[in-house]
Structure formats: structure tokens, C-alpha cells
Amino acid sequence: MARWIVRFKTMCVTMVCSIVVLGIAGKSLAQEKSLYQRLGGYDAVSAVVGEFADRLFADQKLGPFFSGWSAEKQGRFKQLNVLLVCNATGGPCTYIGRTMTASHQGMGVDDTRFDQVAGHLVATLVKFKVPEKEKKELLDIIGSLRGQIVEKK
């Protein structure tokens, strides 16, 4: 076979292989993105949690739980929730608050109250136009905490 044909064939095989390898690598890199990254990182998580918390503070039906808090207490609550969400979604934060069981013990939270709080998170995620896939993943994570927070059935 003429030399140039062999060279041409080798070049084609190399090109096809490179495209396949790059395609696979690119795809796996895209899949490796954490939920935290897909949500937009720290500032995005912080903005969502801030709005979520403000909705809780303003909801009169949740008054027995969240009303009358000082700005400092509100700020602490927001920051701990940012760290919790950041950590639980694969971000670089360490959660330094109490466990969900310890921090909600004795409050008598029931399923209705839990759903009310979770509803504010849903509304916030809708407002921030968080895509369906990421919204579901975050709500699944928060939903998985229900058993540690709800005391009254």
C-alpha cells in the first residue's frame, strides 16, 4: 500500500479516537458537577436561603416558631442554613450548627408545619428559576431531614 495511504489511515484513526476520548471525558466532567455547583455556588445558595428564611420570618402561621427574633438570631439562622445546604449539596462548607434532631427537639413540629416550611423553599426555588432537576434534588435532600425534625404525627 502506498505510504501516503497508510499515513492517511493512521491520521484518521487518531482523529476519530481523539474525538471519542474527548467526548467521553467531556461528558464525565459535566456529570461530575455537584448540585452545589449547578445551583450556582455560594452566592446563589446564600441568596436562596436568605429569601427562604425571610419568608419564614414573615409567615404569620409560623409565628409561634419564627416571630420576634432579633436581627442577630435571624442572621445566625440564615448562615447556619447556608452552611447546611452548601455542605449537603457537595459544596466546600462545614456545617457548624446543631444536629437537626437537637435543634428542633421539643418544638412539637408536625408534618403540616414541616410541609409549610418546605413550601416556602419550593416557592423560593421557583422565584429564582432553579431548574426542575436541581429543584427536585434539593427538595429530596431537605425532605430526607423530615424524620429528624417532625416529632408529632
Does residue 81 belong to the site contacting ligand HEM (CB under 6 A)?
yes
Does residue 49 belong to the site contacting ligand HEM (CB under 6 A)?
no
The owner of cell 409567615 is 59
For residues 149 and 104, is the Cβ–Cβ distance under 8 A?
A: yes
Q: Which residues contact 51 (CB under 8 A, 6 or more apart)?
A: 124, 127, 128
* Cβ nearer to ligand HEM, comparing 44 with 87: 87
Does residue 65 belong to the site contacting ligand HEM (CB under 6 A)?
yes
Which residue from 39, 53, 86, 117 is in contact with ligand HEM, where contact means CB under 6 A?
117
Q: If you write DSSP's letter for every residue of 54-110 in order, what string do you get?
A: HHHHH-GGGHHHHTT--HHHHHHHHHHHHHHHHHHTT-S----S--HHHHHTTS--B
Does residue 120 belong to the site contacting ligand HEM (CB under 6 A)?
no
Minimum distance from CB of 80 to ligand HEM (Å)?
A: 4
Does residue 82 belong to the site contacting ligand HEM (CB under 6 A)?
no
Which residue from 27, 33, 98, 133 is in contact with ligand HEM, where contact means CB under 6 A?
98
CA pair distance 128, 130, nearest whole angstrom:
6
Minimum distance from CB of 146 to ligand HEM (Å)?
A: 7
* 3-class DSSP assignment, residue 152: strand
DSSP 118: H
DSSP 33: -
Mark residues 16-35: x for contact with ligand HEM by CB under 6 A, - for none. --------------------
Instruction: List residues near ligand HEM by CB under 6 A.
Output: 62, 65-66, 77, 80-81, 84, 97-98, 103-104, 109, 113-114, 117-118, 142, 145, 149
